Amino acid sequence: MAVVRARQQDIDLLARLLRAEAEGEGKQGMLMVGNVGINRIRANCSDFRGLRTIPQMVYQAHAFEAVQKGYFYQKPRQTERRLARRVVNGERLWPARYSLWYFRPPGNCPATWYNQPHVGRYKLHCFYEPTGEECENVYNAL
């Protein structure tokens, strides 16, 4: 059962994002990018207040480097579509399980990002989870 509403065109859009943001991180890395995106929709807090759909999340201003810098042009493949469906259906992986932020620094992961603590790294991406009650929806059971 989906944790956010998603039509086929939404799945395709999310699949394109996964590929553009984390193709080099493999399937698990792409799933984690998807986790962050779905968490942003579900959390309704911080910089992500009011996001309700996959297109709103993907095209949010300044949210994803691949969208901003033009790496987002490739068509989705079946592999990414399957991964997108898995995250839409609620599959979560640590360290992205509750994360709302990730990025790829040139070196070590900073201890905080947007004032949120570093919770883990997968390959080249660092993941950051919200703290406090403001973003409690991200921790709700699916």
How high is the pLDDT of residue 134? 79
How high is the pLDDT of residue 27? 97
Residues of the chain with pLDDT under 70: 141-142
How high is the pLDDT of residue 133? 76
User: What's the full length of the chain, in residues?
Assistant: 142
How high is the pLDDT of residue 17? 96
How high is the pLDDT of residue 6? 97
Helix (H) or strand (E) holding 112: strand 112-113
What span, in angstroms and rounded, lies between the C-alpha atoms of 100 and 84?
A: 17
Kindly list the structural domains of the chain, giving each domain's residue range(s) and its CATH number in brackets, ordered by start: 8-139 (1.10.10.2520)
Q: Look up residue 78 and give its two tokens.
A: 């079946």
What span, in angstroms and rounded, lies between the C-alpha atoms of 139 and 99?
A: 10
32, with CB counted inside 10 A (0-12, 13-18, 19+), is buried
How high is the pLDDT of residue 141? 62
Please, what's the b/e burial string for 93-111 (b: 16 or more CB within 10 A of its CB; e: otherwise)? Answer: bebbbbbbbbeeeeeebee
